[in-house]
Copies of this chain bind each other. A is one copy, B any other.
Amino acid sequence: MNDLESATSKRMKRDRSATLSENLRRSLEEMIVSGTLTPGERLDEMEIAERFKVSRTPVREALKALAAVGLVEMSGRQGLTVSAVSIPTLLEMFQLMAELEGLHARLAARRARQDHKDRLISTHEQLSDVLKRGDPQLFYDVNREFHEAIYDASQSEFLADQTRTLRRRVAPYRRYVTFQPGRMTATITEHQLILNAILVADADTAQRAARDHVNLLGDNLADFIASLPPGMTRRSA
Interface residues of A (CB under 8 A from B): 16-17, 21, 57, 60-61, 64-69, 75-76, 85, 89, 92-93, 95-96, 99-100, 103, 156-159, 162, 166
Please, which residues of chain B bring their CB within 8 A of the CB of A159? 92, 95-96
Please, which residues of chain B bring their CB within 8 A of the CB of A60? 61
**Chain B: CB-nearest residue to A156:** B92
**Cα-based distance from A130 to B236 in the complex (angstroms):** 49
Q: How far is the CB of A194 from chain B (nearest CB, A)?
A: 18
Task: Give the contacting residue for A103; candidates B16, B69, B96, B162; CB below 8 A.
Answer: B96
Please, which residues of chain B bring their CB within 8 A of the CB of A156? 92, 95
Task: Give the contacting residue for A65; candidates B65, B99, B157; CB below 8 A.
Answer: B65
**Cα-based distance from A210 to B67 in the complex (angstroms):** 31
18 A-B residue pairs with CB within 8 Å: A17-B76, A61-B61, A64-B64, A64-B65, A65-B67, A65-B68, A68-B68, A69-B69, A89-B157, A89-B158, A92-B157, A92-B158, A93-B158, A95-B159, A96-B100, A96-B158, A96-B159, A99-B100
Please, which residues of chain B bring their CB within 8 A of the CB of A64? 21, 61, 64-65, 68
